[in-house]
Amino acid sequence: MILLFTALLGVGYPLVVTGIAGALLPSQARGSLVTVDGTPVGSALVGQSFTSDRYFHGRPSATAETPYNGASSGGTSLGPTSAKLRDMIDAQIRDLRTAGVEGPLPADAVTSSGSGLDPHISPAFAKLQIARVAKVRQISEQQVAALVEASTSRPALGFIGEPRVNVLRLNMALDKSIPQK
């Protein structure tokens, strides 16, 4: 009986779902890839590492080996009284202070996500980065702010979900509307 079930549930079920999904929802089934000039540059759902001042940065990432390692997801799993976690957050804060950011910092800007692949940042963290990106790209802050606004998702029906900014989509919009100088 166990062999019959293995055939039905282990082979039949996933293959049937794969077949239907591939036929009806090919884009999602293949990972919601986004492309620039026809070449995939990532998944709209998965965050990627941005370090250049020309781009908006995502949250710190604790994935193995490199940040935003899409082949090995995970968080720090450090506890609330961890000295190591305190030092990591402190280092992030120092970096932001060095870059000229003042005032209380949004929590998502200095903490890493559970997956290490969080594609989003809070609108508050995006706002903090507008001045830097505008300066490097030599355009007005209003232009950048308008793009941030356009890339911000609000809760559905006013309460389902959190306000958030997809970093990859925002950076793609930046590249598209303000070509590199």
Partner 1 sequence: MTLVGWLQIALLFGLALVTIKPLGLFMARLFQGERTFLSPALGPVERGFYALSGVRADKEQGWLAYALSMLAFNLAGFLLLYAMLRLQAYLPLNPQGFGAVAPDLAFNTAVSFVTNTNWQAYGGETTLSHFSQMAGLTVQNFLSGATGMALAIAFTRAFARGSAATLGNFWVDMTRATLYVLLPLAIIVALAFVALGLPQTLDASLTVTTLEGAQQTLAMGPIASQEAIKQLGTNGGGFLNANAAHPFENPNAFSNYLNILSMLGITTALFYTFGQMVGDRRQGWAFVTTIMLFLIVGTGIVYQAESAGNPIHVALGVDPALGNMEGKEVRFGQAMTAAYAAVTTGISDGGVNGMHGSFTGLGGLVPMFFMQLGEVLPGGVGSGLYGMLVFAILAVFVAGLMVGRTPELLGKKIEGREMKLAMLAILILPLAILGFSATSALLPVALASLSGAGPHGLSEILYAYTSATANNGSAFGGLSANTPWYNTTLGISMLLGRFAYAVPVLAIAGSLAAKPKIAPSAGTFATNTPLFVGLLAAIILIIGGLQFFPALALGPIVEHIQMLAGQTY
Within 72-131, the residues that bind partner 1 by CB under 8 A are 72-83, 85-86, 89-90, 93, 97, 103-108, 110-122, 124
CA distance 85 to 15: 43
Applying CB under 8 A, does 178 fall inside the site for partner 1?
Answer: no
DSSP state of 34: E
Distance from the first to the final alpha carbon of the chain: 66
Q: Find out whether 165 and 123 touch, Cβ atoms under 8 Å.
A: yes
Applying CB under 8 A, does 177 fall inside the site for partner 1?
Answer: no
Residue 30-69 contact track with partner 1, rule CB under 8 A, x = bound = xxxx--x--xxxxx-xxxxxxxx--x---x--------xx
Q: What is the dihedral of CA 136, 152, 34, 43, to 10 degrees?
A: 100
What SS3 state is found at 2?
A: helix
Instruction: Determine which residue in the list 37, 71, 138, 181 makes contact with partner 1, applying CB under 8 A.
Output: 71
Instruction: Determine which residue in the list 38, 138, 159, 181 makes contact with partner 1, applying CB under 8 A.
Output: 159
- Token duo for residue 113: 């996500």
Q: How far is the CB of 61 from partner 1 (least distance, A)?
A: 11
Applying CB under 8 A, does 151 fall inside the site for partner 1?
Answer: no
Applying CB under 8 A, does 162 fall inside the site for partner 1?
Answer: yes
Quick one: which H or E segment has residue 131? helix 123-137
- Nearer Cβ to partner 1, position 138 or 159? 159
CA distance 14 to 47: 27
- Nearer Cβ to partner 1, position 142 or 177? 177
* Per rule CB under 8 A, count of chain residues that contact partner 1: 95
